[in-house]
Structure 1
């Protein structure tokens, strides 16, 4: 039996990048031919939106997953351009496409975060890829798109990006158009901000009215065996536990709480 060669050490070198996921709503309900068409059109719309924004899609590290494209963007990518003009152009391209006679309507969920990411055997590893995967599948984002039936695109950005970029006052970004949500999916817990182009924050809040509020993580009792928590709430960015979803993997344990956690915040 031949030995399996070891991965090069450079494969696991972490770096900080902007990560994005774009997912097609109700993709599994489509027949095979329509799925193929929708995949091609999704790539075309992303290409066109990037070109109109001045972004080079050929430099993106893309990880297609059928109804979803995950991408790691180059280091020099301007984050405000992605959150502003790119989202705008994607919404316009999507609206134009759906306005075609007899076209199968395509609706998208999009998530963006920035943070540590590393190349891995099955794609990418690190907090940012996992956070993006959780944000794009957040119950709140799904509920917003399902309820606002006129909308074609719903976007969630991480709290880190909202605080660092959206609130910085860039011309194409209006902080008042975002609504904060607390996301808990599997072992992931964090804050995100939802924006739906063409819809006011009050519409977003109304659409999320029926989504249950995530329950707080209970700390282990003194009599319970000591366990390392798989997630924690954070106000900046996101903390993740060990998980594997498709090609997005992570193995970063979270430090256990100290014996005296201090006053609650």
Structure 2
């Protein structure tokens, strides 16, 4: 079997690369022995899925982080092979492993983006590694895995990957299987597309909508005179008001008090 093993660029130079992160759900609840076992199993399943897809894992620049593996894939890696067959084989590996009654169940969130990456002292630098770290922690992705309890894997890809690769008509990639989500994590904001192998898009869409909306802060009587009233409602995926989720902040001006004859100033 011939593996896809593109040549590596010189270290330290910025190149456009495919970045991937796989994060174990609820890893912190495990004891030390189980954490070590889960880490080994995660690496094994990623290795097997890559081998079945004819991807050379030895050429991946991997940055393990305990419950998460971040990887920068070689230049010229076929994105459609990663988004399609690799994800499929990983989902099958997870399903088969979790079917063993004695096994500690492993459920994964996975994120992918394509962008500029450079080697750095602590790993990698560039917008793509940052974006992947934010996408894998997207509230919608967490909500999907929490709601669809039968799912073992939930995947989110950047809007660029969706537009350039998923919608390109390549075999094995169905744009209709992806659900768009507006991701806001820390200072990052952007659109991503979520797919859960084995689950219908309507189920994914409904699960993503379970993301908790922010709750207005209670106001005391002392606060009332000094704070202008703020409304909070959801409009096109953005919460508008004091607590903002979705990147839109709206201050509602308070009209000046009316003046005129007979009104005390």
Q: Check whether TM > 0.5.
A: yes
The residue that corresponds to 2:103 in the other structure is: 103
Which consecutive residues of structure 2, in runs of 5 or more, have no partner in the other structure?
A: 1-9, 214-236, 238-244, 252-265
The question of whether the paired residues in 2 share the 8 Å contact of 1:11 and 1:120 is answered with no
Per-residue CA distance 1:100-146 (angstroms, 9 max, x = gap): 12110000000000000111111111000000000000000000000
Aligned counterpart, 2:247:
216
CA contact (8 A) 2:156 2:193 kept: yes
CA distance, structure 2, for counterparts of residue 38 and residue 98 of structure 1: 12
Partner of 1:239: none
Three-state SS of the structure 1 residue aligned to 2:85 is helix
TM-score (normalizing by structure 1): 0.77
Residue 215 of structure 1 and its aligned partner are, at CA, apart by 3.0
Contact 2:182 2:192 in 1 (8 A): yes
1: CA distance between counterparts of 2:39 and 2:110?
Answer: 15
Cα 1:119/1:219, change in 2 over 3 Å: farther
- 2:38 paired residue number: 38
The match for 2:200 is: 200
Q: How does 1:166-177 map to 2 (within 5 A)?
A: 166-177=166-177
The CA RMSD over aligned residues, in Å, is 1.4
SS in 1 for 2:156: strand
How far did 1:208 drift?
A: 1.7
- Counterpart Cα distance in 2 of 1:161 and 1:219: 31
Residue 138 (structure 1) aligns with: 138
Q: Output the CA distance in 1 between the equivalents of 2:247 and 2:152.
A: 32
In the aligned structure 2, how far is the partner of 1:11 from the partner of 1:44?
27
Which residues in structure 2 correspond to 1:1-265 (within 5 Å)? Answer: 12-211=12-211, 212=213, 213=237, 214-218=245-249
Task: State the secondary structure of the residue aligned to 2:103.
Answer: coil
Instruction: Give the greater-gyration-radius structure (CA).
Output: 2
Q: CA deviation at 1:173?
A: 0.4
- Partner secondary structure for residue 111 of structure 2: strand
Q: How many residues align?
A: 211
Structure 1 residue runs of 5 or longer lacking an equivalent are 1-9, 221-265
After TM superposition, give the deviation of residue 218 of structure 1 in Å. Answer: 4.4
CA contact under 8 A between 1:116 and 1:127: conserved in structure 2?
yes
Q: Does the 8 Å CA contact 2:154/2:194 hold for their aligned counterparts?
A: yes
**What's the CA shift string for 1:5-24, capped at 9, x where partnerless?**
xxxxx764211100000000
- 2:177–2:195 Cα contact (<8 Å) kept: yes
For the Cα contact (< 8 Å) 2:80–2:170, is it kept in 1? yes
Give the 3-state SS of the residue equivalent to 1:117 in structure 2: strand
1:1-50 CA distances to partner (integer Å, 9 max, x unpaired)? xxxxxxxxx76421110000000000000000000000000000000000
Q: Relative contact order, CA 8 A, sep 6+: which one is greater?
A: 1
Q: CA-to-partner distance for each residue in 1:154-206, whole Å, 9 max, x for gaps?
A: 00000000000000111110000000000000000010000000001100111
